[in-house]
Amino acid sequence: MPYIYTPVLQITATQSELETLLAAYRRDGKSIGFVPTMGALHKGHISLITLSINENDVTVCSIFVNPTQFNDPADLKRYPRPVESDREMLENAGCDILFMPSVEEMYPNEDYSLLNEDFGNLDKVMEGKSRPGHFAGMITIVNKLFTAVKPHKAYFGNKDFQQLTIVKYFVKKHRLPILIRECPISRDIDELAMSSRNRLLSVEERKAARLIPSTLFNVKEMWGRKTIAELKAFVESEFANEPVLKLDYFEIVHFETLMSLMEPISPETPIIACIATFAGKIRLIDNIRLQ
């Protein structure tokens, strides 16, 4: 009889049950990998799950649409929640445990108090400026999830580069025994960075959104030959000519401090270009490492 592998995804909504599921692994000294998500999973998420499966004895994925990191209630309301297809994707990927708590489980008694962390410049610029309170909400839930899962390694995608930088800073500052694994941006066939929000785009918006990666690739190609001011002017003119998209910001910043850069720039400085745009009401972000 051929052996048929039937993947079993254990699903839990409570922290106490999660702890029971993980207790045996902890007792046996097994490694725990963790992929926090807000669901509406795509191939980018699955690449994190696969990496975690390859690097750990057990992989936990969380799906929780965290209300405290949305500064716009309409954005929270429209955030996609395709629970059944998410579950199927995780099962097919071979994920071991899905943690899918309720809002009450993560914020009992409607206590939405947030961590009051000082991130210096890191949460003041770009997304921090455009989405006030977003990073306080994000780090509050990430900390709660880290406490619930107690992973050895946690996996974050590079598309949310500023989020990743803040999580790394937080883990280092509080000496949490968690290795943060940074994973490359997954791009679709048209090069658009994969995002749960992409499924909210109309056909026209989706087509126009190709301008985001193509502009970043052009910036990278021109890097070293044009000044930062010239590159910013180039990006602004590209988006001014595309009525379906609205540029929120384009910044060229230091890879670690996220400080805006001035010329001249030494070849050793690590630099990244970050962009945020609106396609209608849908916010899309992307980035590219320049040097």
Neighbours of 139 (CB within 10 A): 22
- Tell me, by CB under 6 A, how many residues bind ligand PAF: 10
Least Cα distance to 180 among 159, 155, 162, 163 occurs for 155
Give the Cα separation of 33 and 167 in Å (integer): 16
Q: Which of residues 132-191 bind ligand PAF (CB under 6 A)?
A: 138, 141-142, 160, 163
Per-residue burial over 183-207, b = 16 or more CB atoms within 10 Å of its CB, e = otherwise: bebbebeeebbbbbbbebbeeebbe
Instruction: Identify the active-site residue in 42, 45, 152, 254.
Output: 45
Residue nearer to ligand PAF on the CB measure, 127 or 238: 127
CB of 145 to ligand PAF, least distance (A): 7
Name the residue nearer to ligand PAF (CB basis): 44 or 213: 44
Give the contact letters, 44-83, x = binds to ligand PAF (CB under 6 A), - = no: ----------------------x--x--------------
Alpha carbon 78 to chain centroid, angstroms: 18
Rank residues 159 and 206 by Cβ distance to ligand PAF and give the closer one: 159
Closest CA to 180 of 157, 154, 161, 162: 154
Give me the count of residues in the chain: 291
**89-128 footprint of ligand PAF as x/- string (CB under 6 A):** ----------------------------------------
Residue 37 binding ligand PAF, by CB under 6 A: yes
Q: What type of residue is 161?
A: F
Q: Which has the closest alpha carbon to 46: 30, 61, 32? A: 61
Interaction of residue 285 with ligand PAF, rule CB under 6 A: no
Closest CB to ligand PAF among residues 126, 142: 142
Nearest to ligand PAF of 150, 232 (CB atom):
150
One-letter amino acid at 132 equals P
SS3 245: strand
Residue 42 falls in the annotated catalytic set: no
Give the catalytic positions in this structure. 45
Contact residues toward ligand PAF (CB under 6 A) are: 36-38, 66, 69, 138, 141-142, 160, 163
